[in-house]
Structure 1
Amino acid sequence: MNTSRVYFINLRSSYQRNIFEKFKLLFQDSKLKKIISPHDLVAIKLHFGESGSTGFIQPIWVQKVVTLVKDSQAKPFLTDTTTLYAGQRSNAIDSIVNAIHHGFSYSTVEAPIIIADGLRGNISKKVKIDQKHFKEVYLAEGIYHSDAIICLSHFKGHMLGGFGGSIKNLAMGMSDKHGKQIMHADQTPKISEDKCLGCGICIKWCQAKALSIIDEKISLDSKQCVGCGQCIASCPAQVFEVNWHALSSTLVQERMGEYALGVLKEKKDKVGFINFLINVTPDCDCCPHSDTPVISDIGILASLDPVAIDQVSVDLVNQEVGLRNSVLKENIKANTDKFKLIHPHVNWETQLSYGEKIGLGSRNYQLIQID
């Protein structure tokens, strides 16, 4: 079994060397610099945070990554994709406005924002993977056409994956709406007919011709539906919803692994990963709030292997003592499974073991600390 290198800096600093100088060493020593060539269009993939959340990676860190990418004579841009659920990121306009509200303006981070799956989240490219769940995956076009990717992940808990790190960021974060729909659920969305205005806007966006108006209310032909998610995105009355509980956590994690594999297959050796073990909150940044972190801040990791960096992240979090004023009410001693305590019905190991099985990366790692 291959052993992957994962590099680590803690958050200690001094008058002699501040944390950003240590971060530059992390970027260089982890070989992230080597995946970037002059003139590359480099996607810096991050989560801008849903409106109301505060746990997302802070803009100052992102600006440092932008500078490091520019040092290689490349052209960085910040990117994310639109969401399935109604919120402040379901289309490109709202998503960019939300990002600016959270501090990611050009004047702050010195790079433009491009929403990778387009205005409404339906711009993608197919990549063949021939795996158990998917023969092909739908990657956001901006990801597909980028020359290299630096994947910045706020490491935290997640209600479906147990934790969210680089694997989730690759998968959910780099797919279009159709990809998110078929990772999360079966193809057809749930419909709340009582909310329907009878406007027919969704029908214009349904490429499969699965929607029609019957008795002034929307009707869905489930046999025709391909799960593109455009009805969810286009409806002004939020009639359509993802059936979040249609699939088990195990299946969702396996499907995420296959989508992540699609990104690496397309980009080959041009993807690098940085996990921030800072503000380790119990739930995803997609939530419109951020609860108290469950542990003290640990540091920052970097690697070329998404499985290894997520494995190290889990291990480091679980080694820590839990914070008493957090969602962890009991059993907060060191060397306890924090994510199992937060999401007891989710086996977080699935995304790691399945990712390793399909060739996404290795769970065996060598942790290298940079002082």
Structure 2
Amino acid sequence: MEKSKVYFGNLRTTSTMNLLQKLEKLVKRAGIEEIDFKEKFVAIKIHFGEPGNLAYLRPNYSKVIVDLIKANGGKPFLTDCNTLYVGRRKNALEHLDAAYENGYNPFTTGCHVIIADGLKGTDEERVQVEGGEYVEEAKIGQAIMDADIFISMNHFKGHESTGFGGALKNIGMGCGSRAGKMEMHCSGKPTIGKERCVSCGACKRICAHDAISFDENKKAQINHDKCVGCGRCIGNCNFDAIRNSEYAANDILNKKIAEYSKAVLHGRPHFHISLVIDVSPCCDCHSENDVAIIPDVGMFASFDPVALDMACVDAANKQKAISTSYLGEKQHHTHDHFINTHPETNWEVCIDHAVKLGLGNKEYELIEI
């Protein structure tokens, strides 16, 4: 198999070339303008950052891509799906507030922000996963599936469940609706925390399988014999009373992320950009970020998300750990920064499964601009 091309630009600047100009040069050289954008809706998947976290990508980078797509006749929008966990991005209204607070709004980016799975995280399209071992139908945010073209902009960092978060993590987990995120994270069925239940009945109304009833205290309860584990009740509960605590093993989680990524990308043009900067040890979903574990590396772009992730992790592993960081303070048992940071993870599982699904190639040619 021919090696995939991954393009790289370092973070050095001159009086005639700033970082934003360098990003534009990078993606053009990588071939983004080979895509026919004219009159096409373009979903740009990005993590807006949980407020309090300052490691997320600055909105200035997304404006470069938005302006380039518009110049080529496209109709771009920035997008993400609601979170499964309790935080500032669990429904569309709070999610938009968080995005605007972190600088993602039409005035700074040049396009609109659309929360792909709707107000409560229940607007989804079910997509067949050809060759899926764990997922038959992925539950993807509707607006993402409605787009003609898909672009991912990824903040490359460590991750406590997957080793690192790059293109595949941003695509697979990030594009899942709330029910989809539950399917990836969990292997069981949801339960109700009765101390939080206010007896509003929203969960019962959304349940298509008549699995929810009320006990003598008017608290909701789930009959697991009837429940199919779709997770729609989680998205419909405004009081975070419904959760799933049966989390899948990290290897299974990684494989499900690869399968969700295939559901998102299959059958339409896609392109991927990763910035290996502010490489925090954990996800941008945290409302804080620890000091970076390695020095900043640069920006990468490719049509192949697998090769892109491989190039980023290889480049990151060539860096020396910052001695005062979480990684620097840990014992190093391997030459892999991300396994050393989170020893219970194995990021290669996601990569290898993505290759098996035909999403891309581990072998790549790195071309520096």
Contact 2:8 2:366 in 1 (8 A): yes
Among residues 218, 234, 256, which one is paired with 1:232 in the alignment? 234
Q: Which residue of 1 aligns with 2:46?
A: 46
Contact 2:156 2:279 in 1 (8 A): yes
1:204-263 C-alpha deviation (Å, 9 max, x unpaired): 2223321111122221111222333232233343222232x5311000000111110111
Superposition pairs of residues 1-371 of structure 1, within 5 angstroms? 1-130=1-130, 131-216=132-217, 217-243=219-245, 246-267=247-268, 270-330=269-329, 336-370=335-369
Q: Which runs of 4+ in 1 moved over 6 A?
A: none
Structure 1 position 332, deviation (Å): 8.3
1:68-121 C-alpha deviation (Å, 9 max, x unpaired): 111101111111111111111111111111100001121111101111111111
Report how many residues are paired. 366
**Structure 2 Cα separation of the partners of residues 193 and 315 of structure 1:** 47
Q: Indicate the RMSD between aligned Cα atoms, in angstroms.
A: 1.7
Amino acid at match of 2:183: I
Q: Which moved more, 1:232-241 or 1:299-308?
A: 232-241
Seen in structure 2, the aligned counterparts of structure 1 residues 98 and 331 have a Cα distance that, compared at 3 Å, is closer
**Structure 2 Cα separation of the partners of residues 258 and 223 of structure 1:** 27
Contact 2:191 2:222 in 1 (8 A): no
**Structure 2 Cα separation of the partners of residues 296 and 226 of structure 1:** 46
**Structure 2 Cα separation of the partners of residues 215 and 221 of structure 1:** 15
Q: Secondary structure at the match of 1:53?
A: coil
Amino acid at match of 2:190: P
Amino acid at match of 2:24: K
Structure 1 position 183, deviation (Å): 0.8
Contact 2:273 2:300 in 1 (8 A): yes
Q: Secondary structure at the match of 1:359?
A: coil
**Structure 2 Cα separation of the partners of residues 190 and 326 of structure 1:** 38
Structure 1 position 287, deviation (Å): 1.2
Identity of aligned residues (%): 36
**Structure 2 Cα separation of the partners of residues 22 and 53 of structure 1:** 25
Amino acid at match of 2:174: G
Structure 1 position 138, deviation (Å): 2.0
Q: Secondary structure at the match of 1:65?
A: helix
**Structure 2 Cα separation of the partners of residues 360 and 221 of structure 1:** 38
Amino acid at match of 2:328: K
What is the TM-score of this pair, normalised by structure 2?
0.95
1:280-322 C-alpha deviation (Å, 9 max, x unpaired): 1101111111111101111100000111000111111111011
**Structure 2 Cα separation of the partners of residues 300 and 178 of structure 1:** 32
What is the TM-score of this pair, normalised by structure 1?
0.94
1:19-57 C-alpha deviation (Å, 9 max, x unpaired): 222211111111122224211111111000112211111
**Structure 1 Cα separation of the partners of residues 2 and 129 of structure 2:** 22
Amino acid at match of 2:117: D
Amino acid at match of 2:86: A
Amino acid at match of 1:157: G
**Structure 1 Cα separation of the partners of residues 164 and 244 of structure 2:** 21
**Structure 1 Cα separation of the partners of residues 362 and 265 of structure 2:** 17
Contact 2:310 2:362 in 1 (8 A): yes
Unaligned runs of 5+ in 2: none
Structure 1 position 187, deviation (Å): 4.3
**Structure 2 Cα separation of the partners of residues 331 and 238 of structure 1:** 35
Q: Secondary structure at the match of 2:179?
A: helix
Seen in structure 2, the aligned counterparts of structure 1 residues 272 and 354 have a Cα distance that, compared at 3 Å, is same
Amino acid at match of 2:302: S
Structure 1 position 10, deviation (Å): 0.4
Structure 1 position 192, deviation (Å): 2.2
Contact 2:150 2:265 in 1 (8 A): no
Amino acid at match of 1:174: C
Q: Secondary structure at the match of 1:174?
A: coil
**Structure 2 Cα separation of the partners of residues 225 and 143 of structure 1:** 27
Structure 1 position 330, deviation (Å): 4.3
